[in-house]
Amino acid sequence: MMAGRGNRLSTFLIATLILMFTGGPVLLALYGSLVPDRVLLSRETSVFDYGLSLESYRYVFFGELPPSYLVEGANRSMISDAARQVPQSLWNSARIALSAMALNILLGAPAAYVFARYAFPAKKLSFMFIILSPLVPTTALVVPIYMLMQSLGLIGSIYGIILVHTAQALPFTVLILSVFFRKLPTELFEAAMLDRCTGFQGFIRIAVPLALPSIGATGLFAFMLSYSEYIFSLVLSGEARSRPVSVVMAALARNTDVSWSLLNTSIFIAIIPTLVLVVLVWRFVVEGLLSGSVKG
């Protein structure tokens, strides 16, 4: 009994530490976005003296300057114009990441199925090429990819960024899904062939339903990778209207005089899409994977 209680206590403490480490920065960003700088940077005042404020959110979304920066002598350099780009950049990142996720699933799942279930010439060589391609340093690919996108007329367009982000995540998608498809019982596909199902029908009717949790997990990874990618987004985005949120946040963070409240507001707004996506797919992906492991 004592050993069981000790294990539960240690598990609870470790889980609490992990939650604090992962969720703590999000809560701090939310707190910092709702508290004015005069409270954050002062030891003599507290949030109970001034209360919570949405003035930073009003500036980000509507351009309304906080009242504290309208008075004479206020340091207006703490208000960065980059913060006004956050809503548009957030929309750009959402479109880019969702498109990269969809393309990864549409291209990666059939490719993984072919690698897992079929034999064809140069199969091992092509598979190793796909899997080892992420080992090439990103900095070595910036110039060639920029020249390629320039020749295609995609510089300054989100379509070029979508293509690059899709290519970045595809090796992981193919690797994970091919491992899953390889473990599916061969008898299922043999029975489908007896029922006159083609290879494509077997993929759609048998492999895809069984692989939905894994497909959801790899799609989520592709979204996260695209949403947080910076180097190619910076090089290919061009004007402010097509910049993803990672580029705008980097520009905002480089301003050493920026308001802490404004910076925290931008950080929390940038986190919201990933939090929403995780909440939406968490139950489907995690419970599906757990149930699959129990049944196996």
- Residue recorded with tokens 């920029």: 146
* Both tokens assigned to 129: 């090429």
Least Cα distance to 265 among 89, 20, 71, 58 occurs for 58
Mean pLDDT of the chain: 83
- How confident is the model over 85-101, as a mean pLDDT? 93
- How confident is the model over 204-225, as a mean pLDDT? 87
Q: What are residue 214's phi and psi, to 5 degrees?
A: -65, -40
CB atoms under 10 Å from CB of 196, counted, come to 7
Q: How many angstroms separate the CA atoms of 226 and 247, rounded?
A: 12
* Both tokens assigned to 21: 């480490």
pLDDT (0 to 100) of residue 100:
95
Domain ranges of the chain: 2-82, 92-260+273-295
Least Cα distance to 293 among 224, 217, 220 occurs for 217
Place 84 in a pLDDT band, splitting at 50, 70 and 90.
confident
Q: H-type helices in the chain, by residue range? A: 2-34, 37-40, 47-50, 55-62, 86-117, 123-132, 138-151, 158-183, 186-194, 199-202, 208-228, 231-237, 245-254, 260-295
pLDDT (0 to 100) of residue 295:
44
Place 289 in a pLDDT band, splitting at 50, 70 and 90.
low
CATH number for region 92-260+273-295: 1.10.3720.10
Q: How many angstroms separate the CA atoms of 265 and 30, rounded?
A: 7
- How confident is the model over 102-116, as a mean pLDDT? 93
- DSSP state, residue 241: G
pTM: 0.83
- The residue ranking higher by pLDDT, 137 or 291, is 137
- DSSP state, residue 65: P
SS3 of 77, please? helix
- Give pLDDT tens digits for 241-262: 888 999 998 888 887 777 888 8
Specify burial of residue 268 (Cβ count, 10 A radius: 0-12, 13-18, 19+): buried
CA separation, residue 159 to residues 96, 154, 166, 188 (Å): 8, 7, 11, 39
- DSSP state, residue 207: I
Please report, rounded to a whole number, the percentage of residues in the chain having pLDDT higher than 70. 86
Q: How many angstroms separate the CA atoms of 59 and 50, rounded?
A: 19
Place 6 in a pLDDT band, splitting at 50, 70 and 90.
low
pLDDT (0 to 100) of residue 117:
86
Amino acid at 68: S
Q: What are residue 84's phi and psi, to 5 degrees?
A: -70, -15
Largest CA distance in the chain: 83
